[in-house]
Structure 1
Amino acid sequence: MAPLSPTRLAGLTGAARSGVAGLLGAGAGAAAQFLTVVLVARGVGQETAGAFFSVTALCLAVATVLRLDAGNGLVYFVARSRPFDHRRTSGYVRAALVPVAALSLAAACAIILSTSDPALRVLATALPAVTCSGVMVSATRGFGSMRPTVLLDGVLQPSAQLALVGTVVLAGRDSVPLLAAAWALPYLPVLLLASVWLHRRLPRTSYLPGTAHDLWRHTWPRSLAAGIQAVFQRLDIVIVALLAGPAEAAVYTAATRFKIVGQLAGQGLAQATQPRLVRALAEGDLPRARELYQSATLWLVLLTWPVWLGYAALAPWLLGAVFGDGYASGAPVAIVLAVTMTLATACGMADVVLTAAGHTGASLANLAAAVATTVLLDLLLIPSLGSLGAALGWAGGTMVKNLLPLWHIHRRYGLRPFGAHSLAALSPWRAS
């Protein structure tokens, strides 16, 4: 393999260091979210736990749909604006935030007026903050900084959720609305702090015509894709609750909680690598894109495969020991999860590469196929197999979700998750 040039080595070193920052934040967030699930599972009854997991999963799914993937759209456009055009960048932020805020407020009012469920009303009240905070934190990454994401998304939000939900559980309040309020409250300071960070870096300027058109022309396919992705990630818990009951949903949530580890590891790497991939592909620098993709895939495998293999081996004992005796029945679900994630992580962040190259329509079609696969298998399998049927449905959709974009980027750009540049992922550490 040809030696890396100083410029490429510096770029990979920066990507690796940003990746570490993203992974540290992801790890802190995963630990806090996992402990929150443990506290709820052990501290309240399975019916209450299942109801809480279902309504929060539904809230996150709705918030992700309402974000319209505006955060990733901002990363794409801000990262391409080098050197930064503050007037144009400010216009992109406004163009993204205004429709998202308006839609989330309208959705919150509609939910409050249409339901008498107190937990849903609590989460509807928090929905604008939950929705807009994700957009604002994403926008900070377009400037090349991972610090706000690590501190706000990775540390503050999940740690505050753990503290507040834990307080409700330890106080003996077996109440879904109180648990929901404790879970939702931390999104407000995250929104405010991310807004302050952006305000300090973007001077107040007049709106630049055309920025909204540019942003949404690129983002609208990803808006649909993000909604489909939200359905893919969260709908299984809701379907289990509807078809098999809240108690079965609690078992399924507990058994699949380790899924967060792999998802957040991938998210941390993707957040750090996405702006660099966007610039490399925009400049036609395919060798740089190949290096970034293959190095990120290697790190993803090294960081997650020990977790999945260990979880598959220990699941029959681990679930009962961590969550309580009633959750040991989720061991088959855990094994399906572990095997699926082992295969999925070997594909790397193929969809991130596909969207960084601007192929948002292809990404949308891939996600639609994945969700269709999951929903079809869920409807066929959950009535007879319960949580195991949901796990098999999710596994089928996950493989479709990873293999289709992998095929696309290989056919279009000749990219593979492993290759001659995989070991380059380790060279920045030797250099630094």
Structure 2
Amino acid sequence: MAAVTFRRGLAGVSAAAFSALAQFVLVVVVTRAYPAAEAGGFFTATALALMVAGVAKLDAGNGLIYFIARARTYGYRGISGYLRAALVPCVLVAAGAAVVLYPRIGPLAALLPVMVVVDVLLAATRGFGSLRPTVLLDGMLVPACQLVLVATAALAGVAATWLPVAWGAPYLPALVLAAAGLRGRAPRTAYLPGTLRDLWRYTAPRSAAGAIQAVFQRVDIVIVAVLAGPASAAVYTAATRFKVVGQLANQGLAQAVQTGLVRALAEGERERAGELYQAATVWLVLLTWPVWLAYAGLAPWVLRLFGPSYGAAVPVALVLAGTMMVATACGMVDVVLTAAGHTGTSLLNLLAAVGCTVLLDLTLVPAHGALGAVAGWSGGVLVKNLLPLWQLHRRYGLHPFGRHTLAALRVRGWAAA
């Protein structure tokens, strides 16, 4: 079991690293090929699309993981009904959002339902214990195709207004392949009574939390664009591009251990849950801290890759690096909290984090631009991680570091387990 968890975690983090690199290169291409105002418009449109898609998916994917992981004991009977119960509301919300957003982001809005369905289907495959579709599609195919299509459009001199379409197009083949990945795993069966009620009774609090999390991850770019202009949004996006490393690495490890955490906590195996939490934390620190330290030290040179005017954002990079080191040292606290069933508490934590970010942004961005925005984001990140860290300690005695930390580093021992 430990060897499987380690391999899955390594695969997830490898995909996260590839995705982060592809996104970084994409930002370099766009900032080099287009004026800051046009680049900022593109970054704002894609951030808005990701934020709205994150809201529209209603966190149905995590709900599916929860029910599919628990359904293994009775042969996954009725799981196709859970899939339908999860997908229909998400598609309807995404379609409504697409209509509203079309005047703002153009044809990219039409791809919002596709983005949402891809996310839900990939979550379902993880519920069945298969991480490969998520790694290959979400971690590699989509970011690689986005980079190729956007770079091709930039080299061809395509107007910046069409870049969001090139960025969103890879979700179409990802949809087909994600659906193929579920074929045979969830045969169509009769719809069991109570399926819709059970799924959304569990998922509803997480839907709100997932929506807030999606807003939290992207709202800073939108606020900068509104309060300081698209050029400042481009500078802020470039300087904070590396924050995706922490987000994706955490996501990659979380995808690998989430199902195991749900099972361990549901069965009262607190020791096993603590082992998974500490193992994921130490690997998250070891894999990301070198990135943050290198970024802090090399920021004056790295930022110039985006263009001469971006070098002034070094203070933004330093705040980003320090904040992410603290956050990763806390581990995937929110994943553990929700795996234990405390979805309402997670929602309150996220509300506090978003409130902190928005309040600080509105106060600081008009006067300090990108630096004010990263200060607001930093405050929200600290709240988002330190609150659940304290709650896990108080309720379960779980800690990100402990006696399982050193054991997790013995890769040979894991492989032999």
TM-score of the two chains, using structure 1 as the length reference: 0.94
Partner-residue secondary structure (3-state), 1:103: helix
Aligned position for 1:224: 208
Deviation of residue 199 (structure 1)? 2.5
Aligned position for 1:166: 151
Partner-residue secondary structure (3-state), 1:83: helix
Deviation of residue 104 (structure 1)? 1.2
Deviation per residue, 1:9-33 (Å, 9 max, x gap)? xx22111111011112111111111
Deviation per residue, 1:280-339 (Å, 9 max, x gap)? 00000000001010111000100011111111111122101x211011111110000000
Deviation of residue 428 (structure 1)? 4.1
**Do the aligned residues in 1 keep the contact of 2:68 with 2:76 (CA within 8 Å)?**
no
Identity of aligned residues (%): 61
Aligned position for 2:291: 307
Give distance in 2, aligned partners of 1:106 and 1:240.
26
Structure 2 counterparts to residues 61-100 of structure 1, below 5 A? 61-83=51-73, 85-100=75-90
Q: Quick check: 56-65 or 35-44, which moved more?
A: 35-44
Give distance in 2, aligned partners of 1:85 and 1:153.
28
Aligned position for 1:239: 223
Aligned position for 2:94: 104
Q: Would you say 1:214 and 2:198 are equivalent positions? A: yes
Deviation of residue 93 (structure 1)? 0.9
Counterpart of 1:96, as a letter, is: A
Deviation per residue, 1:229-286 (Å, 9 max, x gap)? 1111100000001111111100000000011111111111000010000000000000
Q: Would you say 1:258 and 2:242 are equivalent positions? A: yes
Aligned position for 2:276: 292
Q: Would you say 1:34 and 2:24 are equivalent positions? A: yes
Give distance in 1, aligned partners of 2:34 and 2:179.
36
Q: 1:281 aligns with which of 257, 265, 269?
A: 265
**Do the aligned residues in 2 keep the contact of 1:48 with 1:174 (CA within 8 Å)?**
no
Partner-residue secondary structure (3-state), 1:217: helix
Aligned position for 2:324: 341
Deviation per residue, 1:334-393 (Å, 9 max, x gap)? 000000001111100011000000000000000000000000000000011000000000
Deviation of residue 87 (structure 1)? 3.2
Deviation of residue 84 (structure 1)? 5.4
**Do the aligned residues in 2 keep the contact of 1:12 with 1:428 (CA within 8 Å)?**
no
Give distance in 1, aligned partners of 2:42 and 2:323.
26
Aligned position for 2:135: 150
Aligned position for 2:308: 325
Aligned position for 1:8: none
Change (3 A) 1:259 1:84: farther
Partner-residue secondary structure (3-state), 2:341: coil
Partner-residue secondary structure (3-state), 2:403: coil
Deviation of residue 88 (structure 1)? 1.9
**Do the aligned residues in 2 keep the contact of 1:228 with 1:368 (CA within 8 Å)?**
yes
Structure 2's unaligned 5+ residue stretches are none
**Do the aligned residues in 2 keep the contact of 1:291 with 1:424 (CA within 8 Å)?**
no
**Do the aligned residues in 1 keep the contact of 2:240 with 2:317 (CA within 8 Å)?**
yes
Give distance in 1, aligned partners of 2:195 and 2:393.
32
Deviation of residue 431 (structure 1)? 4.6
Partner-residue secondary structure (3-state), 1:86: coil
Partner-residue secondary structure (3-state), 1:68: coil
Counterpart of 2:52, as a letter, is: V
Q: Would you say 1:16 and 2:16 are equivalent positions? A: no
Q: 1:190 aligns with which of 174, 178, 184?
A: 174
Give distance in 2, aligned partners of 1:427 and 1:276.
20
Give distance in 2, aligned partners of 1:170 and 1:344.
38
Give distance in 2, aligned partners of 1:348 and 1:287.
17
TM-score of the two chains, using structure 2 as the length reference: 0.98
**Do the aligned residues in 2 keep the contact of 1:142 with 1:275 (CA within 8 Å)?**
yes
Give distance in 1, aligned partners of 2:99 and 2:401.
48
Counterpart of 2:77, as a letter, is: R
Q: Would you say 1:141 and 2:126 are equivalent positions? A: yes
Q: Would you say 1:377 and 2:360 are equivalent positions? A: yes
Figure out how many residues of one structure are paired with residues of the other and give that number: 415
**Do the aligned residues in 2 keep the contact of 1:68 with 1:222 (CA within 8 Å)?**
yes
Aligned position for 1:54: 44
Aligned position for 2:393: 410
Change (3 A) 1:42 1:61: same
Deviation of residue 83 (structure 1)? 3.4
Give distance in 2, aligned partners of 1:328 and 1:271.
35
Q: 1:355 aligns with which of 313, 338, 343?
A: 338
Change (3 A) 1:88 1:298: same
Deviation of residue 110 (structure 1)? 3.2
Give distance in 1, aligned partners of 2:74 and 2:81.
12
Partner-residue secondary structure (3-state), 1:367: helix
Aligned position for 1:391: 374
Structure 1's unaligned 5+ residue stretches are 1-10
Counterpart of 1:198, as a letter, is: L
Give distance in 1, aligned partners of 2:368 and 2:165.
33
Q: 1:130 aligns with which of 79, 104, 115?
A: 115
Give distance in 2, aligned partners of 1:170 and 1:371.
38
**Do the aligned residues in 2 keep the contact of 1:296 with 1:348 (CA within 8 Å)?**
yes
